[in-house]
Amino acid sequence: MSYLKPLFKHPRLPKNKLGYTLKEYEGSLSTLCAGCGHDSISAAIVQACYEMSVEPHKVAKISGIGCSSKTPTYFLGNSHGFNSVHGRMPSVATGASMANKDLLYFGVSGDGDSASIGMGQFVHVIRRNLNMVYIVMNNGCYGLTKGQDSATADQGSKSKAGSINPFQAIDLASMAIELGASFVAQSFSGDKQQLVPLIKAAMQHKGFAFLNVISPCVTFNNNPGSTKSYDYVREHIEATSTLDFVPEMPEIKASYESGQSTSLALHDGSLVQLNKLATDWDPENRISAVNALQQARAKQEILTGLLYVNSEWKDLHGVLNTYHMPLNRLDESDLCPGEENLLSINASYR
């Protein structure tokens, strides 16, 4: 397969506020299997960054090992990237963020990379509320090593080889809420209309934004009996609400009853469909969010959308009260406080 994309672009292609076309946000040609859900997620990231007019060189993509961790090559080719050790992406992302907090960090992982070998790192990056977008491309199998069940494969699901998984699945979205993630969402790679606004919202969130995206593996886990296949997800999906992302502008108000929907005109003249959640669901309440996930699971539904958000918690830089400038841009005058100040500091420890 060729790794080259044609350089020609039509002069009338639409451009964003920066004057960039969608092409400026693409990467190399994908070498994943045709129809892989991961490619749809990459396309959603490209679309979200283009529509948000993000400067590609101000983005850092960090990944681990696995099919999902190959995808940063396929989007935002003009951004920074680092392919780390299996399960250790959060450590690299933390170090990079501490050195340069001005970049937008995308952590790309898989269900094996995060729910198995990288589980400990996943837990602690949530605990620290690192300011990043953390996407798990969840297909319930190890696609890179011939389709064995991963830790997120549902109990009773059938693999392509015909074996039934006897173990309970790790629910990453529920775990993220329990551990204190300040933004938790769940989506499906085949639902671009929902996924793009969720990625936009995650990019704008100050703190750890976790997206668990079910992404069917067309080669090893798209068979009858799999609960991560395209057919199964489409038949069992249950969205929390119809979502859109509205950038910060003068306030638009609407008034309608709980459980009802309405159309609202946005600043650009487009319409957004709003669905008011029923009174027993509150995405700003951790207990309510966990209960909603567990109730959906009991009914064999896959709950998608924005599950939980908390904009009050400080991110890691806020907790540590780090310097206002990125550490990688500090010079000698910033790093050396001078002899007088050093003597004062030393005296305070006597």
pLDDT in tens, 136-188: 999 999 988 888 999 999 999 998 888 999 999 999 999 999 999 999 999 99
Query: What's the pLDDT tens digit per position in 229-282?
Result: 999 999 998 887 666 665 656 666 666 565 555 666 665 665 655 655 555 678
The domains of the chain are located at 22-324
Give the H or E element holding residue 80.
Answer: strand 80-83
Residue with tokens 């999906």: 237
SS3 113: helix
Residue 1, pLDDT above cutoff 50: no
Q: Check if CATH label 3.40.50.970 holds for domain 22-324.
A: yes
Q: For residue 94, what are the CA distances in angstroms to 20, 103, 126, 316, 327?
A: 30, 12, 11, 9, 13
- Rounded to the nearest angstrom, the gap between the alpha carbon of residue 235 and the centroid of all alpha carbons in its chain is 24
Query: What's the pLDDT tens digit per position in 271-327?
Result: 655 655 555 678 889 999 999 898 888 888 888 989 999 989 999 999 999 988 998
- Measured over the CA atoms of residue 90, residue 96, residue 99 and residue 104, the dihedral's sign is negative
Tell me the two tokens of residue 102.
Answer: 């001005």
Tell me the two tokens of residue 22.
Answer: 């969608």
Alpha-carbon distance of 282 to 303, in angstroms, equals 14
For residue 82, what pLDDT is reported? Answer: 96
Residue 2, pLDDT above cutoff 70: no
